[in-house]
Amino acid sequence: MMRDGDGKANILLVDDIPANLLALRSILETLDQNLVEASSGEEALRHLLHDDFAVILLDVSLPGMDGYEAARLIRGRKRCRRTPIIFVTAYETPSERMIQAYSQGGVDFLVKPIVPAILRSKVAVFVELFQKTEQVKRQQEQLFTQQREMMRAGHLAVAGQLAAGVAHEVRNPLATIKVLVEGALRVKNPAPLSREELTVIHGEIARLERIVQDYLDFARPPALNRSLGDLREVVDQAAALLQANARRQGVHLVADYPEQPVWATVDHDQLRAVLVNLLLNAVEAMPRGGHLSITLAEKEQEIELNVTDTGSGFPPDILKRLFTPFVSGKPTGTGLGLCISRRIVEYHGGRIAAQNRAEGGAIVAITLPVLQND
Ligand SMILES: Nc1ncnc2c1ncn2[C@@H]1O[C@H](COP(=O)(O)OP(=O)(O)OP(=O)(O)O)[C@@H](O)[C@H]1O
Ligand SMILES: [Mg+2]
């Protein structure tokens, strides 16, 4: 990452001779970036543990671990796999090791004596590339956060409508029951309620139950806007939306689907929302990283979509009440993601099931019919 949010990129200068470091520094100073110095391969590796660098300038002939060996170790680290390296060498003729280093990619060579303008322009290119990449990453994260907020807001809006609806419809039967019971209580020695009155009360209680049940089932079906399309695209889009978030958390997210298109007549936006919900749950269940896969396969007359993770698994008390509105194991969760997902899947004529995997983590499986009858 860039340091202290000052927008400057880190550049690592590695040379055992202080005068050389000084020379590099004076050439690169005008770029106005963070210049970090290391006098050995080991020291360079230590810096790379904590910080990301736009480019590394690496003297080939370091004592002890030489530049090539240092580069090999640098490349071996996940964090630095793509960090560009500029080797600084005194020899013009390419050696075997130089060619080997080239073949690993992401490297460049500068032969001493260094021409300041060339060094500066090479480094400037890498700095720009780094800053662009960082900018894209930030934008992706922003986009993701916005989408997450919109989704949560959407859930809360649904919850709000539900609550208002329940409150409104519950009021009438409650008023009837109240009038009858209050009437019976008003006389000194309360006369038992007549059979007729009890029947009314009973009927109203049944109505209340129905109202609550209807709302719990999300009785109002979502309007589906179906169209024929390739489900692989839906999977790709959902995975792409989550990718930055997953990466930030060390979650390795892979999408797996057939080479041929998987055609289905579905509401692509709503199905994508379902997949985003499931992927998001999985990422949130893996705060310390892990593997997350989304697979799409066609089996006989059905399409199977599985989201599998290596996270914490469903907490047992949650698993028992999964797909129930407002059941959440998270401090900030609305507990609506899974029920909304189920509603959308079922409205497509499909099924959704969730369970913990024996080897750890959770799996949510969606089955959709291939032939849609509308
Ligand atoms: N992949 C998973 N691994 C472990 N637990 C999970 C997973 N998916 C869901 N859960 C558990 O199930 C609960 C319900 O999930 P659901 O998506 O319905 O709600 P939520 O994620 O809490 O909130 P939101 O409405 O914002 O999605 C979660 O709070 C979490 O405890
Ligand atoms: Mg959720």
Identify the CATH number of the domain in which residue 12 sits.
Answer: 3.40.50.2300
Domain final residue pick, 216, 237, 256: 216
Q: What are phi and psi of 23, to 5 degrees?
A: -65, -45
Residues 319-338, mean pLDDT to the nearest whole number: 82
Query: Is 200 within a domain?
Result: yes
Domain final residue pick, 182, 216, 250: 216
Residues 276 and 316 in one domain: yes
Could you tell me which residue, 337 or 92, shows the higher pLDDT? 337
How far, in Å, CA of 255 to CA of 307, rounded? 9
| Binding site membership of 289 for ligand 1 (Cβ less than 6 Å) | no
pLDDT grade for 258, boundaries at 50, 70 and 90:
very high
Omega of the bond leading into 113 within 30 degrees of 0 (cis): yes
How far, in Å, CA of 14 to CA of 74, rounded? 13
Q: pLDDT tens for residues 359-370?
A: 999 999 999 998
**Best CA proximity match to 353, nearest among 310, 317, 308, 316:** 308
Residue 146, pLDDT > 70, answer yes
Ligand 1 atom nearest to 335, measured from its CA: 19
Question: Any idea which ligand is nearest the CA of 317?
Answer: 1
User: Residues 57, 14: contact at Cβ < 8 Å?
Assistant: yes
| Binding site membership of 314 for ligand 1 (Cβ less than 6 Å) | yes
Residue 93, pLDDT > 80, answer no
Ligand 1 atom nearest to 340, measured from its CA: 18
Query: Is 262 within a domain?
Result: yes
Residues 272 and 362 in one domain: yes
Task: Identify the CATH number of the domain in which residue 176 sits.
Answer: 1.10.287
| Centroid of ligand 2 to alpha carbon of 231 (angstroms) | 22
> What is the pLDDT, as a whole number, of residue 100?
75
Query: Is 211 within a domain?
Result: yes
Residues 212 and 231 in one domain: no
Query: Is 284 within a domain?
Result: yes
Residues 186 and 309 in one domain: no
pLDDT grade for 274, boundaries at 50, 70 and 90:
very high
H/E stretch holding 49: helix 41-50
How far, in Å, CA of 24 to CA of 6, rounded? 22
Residues 179 and 257 in one domain: no
How far, in Å, CA of 340 to CA of 274, rounded? 8
Residues 7 and 96 in one domain: yes
Query: Is 141 within a domain?
Result: no
Q: pLDDT tens for residues 279-315?
A: 999 999 999 999 999 999 998 889 999 999 999 999 9
Q: How far is CA 241 from the centre of its chain?
A: 7
- Helix, coil or strand: residue 198: helix
| 75, 79, 81, 87: CA torsion to nearest 10 | -60
Residues 11 and 85 in one domain: yes
Residues 310 and 275 in one domain: yes
How far, in Å, CA of 339 to CA of 322, rounded? 8
Q: What is the DSSP string of 1-13?
A: --GGGSSPPEEEE
Residues 196 and 237 in one domain: no
Residue 232, pLDDT > 50, answer yes
> What is the pLDDT, as a whole number, of residue 216?
59
The domain containing residue 174 runs over which residues? 146-216
Residues 126-153, mean pLDDT to the nearest whole number: 84
Query: Is 355 within a domain?
Result: yes
Residue 162, pLDDT > 80, answer no
Residues 94 and 71 in one domain: yes
Query: Is 133 within a domain?
Result: no
| Centroid of ligand 1 to alpha carbon of 326 (angstroms) | 10
Q: pLDDT tens for residues 68-80?
A: 899 999 988 888 8
Query: Is 16 within a domain?
Result: yes
The Cβ of residue 162 has, within 10 Å, a number of other Cβ atoms equal to 18
Percent residues over pLDDT 70 in the chain: 92
Domain final residue pick, 163, 186, 216: 216
| Binding site membership of 313 for ligand 1 (Cβ less than 6 Å) | yes
Average per-residue pLDDT in the chain? 87
Residues 152 and 189 in one domain: yes
| Centroid of ligand 1 to alpha carbon of 352 (angstroms) | 14
Count of domains observed in the chain: 3
| Centroid of ligand 1 to alpha carbon of 336 (angstroms) | 8
Q: What is the DSSP string of 211-257?
A: HHHHHHTT-SPPPP--EEEEHHHHHHHHHHHHHHHHHHTTEEEEEE-
| Binding site membership of 303 for ligand 1 (Cβ less than 6 Å) | no
Task: Identify the CATH number of the domain in which residue 241 sits.
Answer: 3.30.565.10
> What is the pLDDT, as a whole number, of residue 20?
94
How far, in Å, CA of 112 to CA of 38, rounded? 19
Could you tell me which residue, 178 or 159, shows the higher pLDDT? 178
Residues 234 and 209 in one domain: no
Residues 228-238, mean pLDDT to the nearest whole number: 95
Residue 372, pLDDT > 70, answer no
| Binding site membership of 10 for ligand 1 (Cβ less than 6 Å) | no
Atom 1, ligand 1: which residue's CA is nearest? 282
